[in-house]
Structure 1
């Protein structure tokens, strides 16, 4: 993939939640899970620009990918297949509601797939405004993490990173933050 433009680099640096991995990929550093955003600058039709020749603008496609553990990967005991499958199905349905978290109204269609003991959630969004594109990609990663945490089933003994996430939530709840 090509080197990201200066405006894209500046947008990631200004956001402050990302560390650059290579010329077109950034690691999102504020969640417990692996969130990455890859950029692909190109000339595209941007719906906000209207129609005709003037609607072709320089835009950037941001592909946000979040890798999370399956429920059984973060518990000390066995999780029945029916529970794991039902949990994943519910998670997928919740992730579909992502469109409302972005700064720009978007019709996002995230994909969710299971790969062994991991779940990979991915979405692509295109924006001519690089700062807004970066912010929307970050909002997607945060939304996926929050959706995952909402789905934690009580009654299991969890391992990392779920124990840390739950501990931080309790601390923030107890101090009124």
Structure 2
């Protein structure tokens, strides 16, 4: 396919993936499979490639608990989340090196990845894998003993139900 058909190829790749819905007409897609705000911007890159900018916004720990969270716990949790989420090796199908950014923005943590791919379908798969990775990393870091609110309460409930489905 020609480079002039790149937007159509990318739209088809997102539509066929089934995890994304278009957010606007500027190449931004939202993940429909995460409780968090996962967005992917796709734009043409040199040599017929596609640049995928993946942004996932997750709440800070205290924004998801009914209980008070001590500042030292919040800071430690945030630092640990950042260390885990930047260790993204092996999550994607493509051979990518990532240098993600992680920043606290009010009551949210914003995680951003960028990848460039010649194969738009593999790029969409990898973008979806990065969104899922952030969600999984977040859930792994949930601290027992707190009463959680949405969306974390729903994620924990779903994880428990899925875990019970495989029980012997």
The TM-score range, normalised by the shorter chain, is over 0.9
SS at 2:90 equivalent: helix
1:31 is matched with 34
**1:58-108 deviations in whole A, cap 9, x for unaligned?**
111000100110000000111111111110111111011112100012111
Instruction: Answer whether contact 2:102 2:112 (CA < 8 A) is retained.
Output: yes
TM-score (norm 1): 0.88
Distance 1:100 1:10 in 2: 26
Task: Give 5+ residue unaligned stretches, structure 2.
Answer: 1-5
Q: How does 1:1-177 map to 2 (within 5 A)?
A: 5-23=7-25, 24-43=27-46, 57-176=47-166
Distance 2:95 2:49 in 1: 16
SS at 1:79 equivalent: coil
Instruction: Answer whether contact 2:45 2:116 (CA < 8 A) is retained.
Output: no
Task: Give 5+ residue unaligned stretches, structure 1.
Answer: 44-56
RMSD: 1.4
Consecutive aligned runs of 4 or more in structure 1 exceeding 6 Å deviation: none
SS at 1:32 equivalent: coil
TM-score (norm 2): 0.93
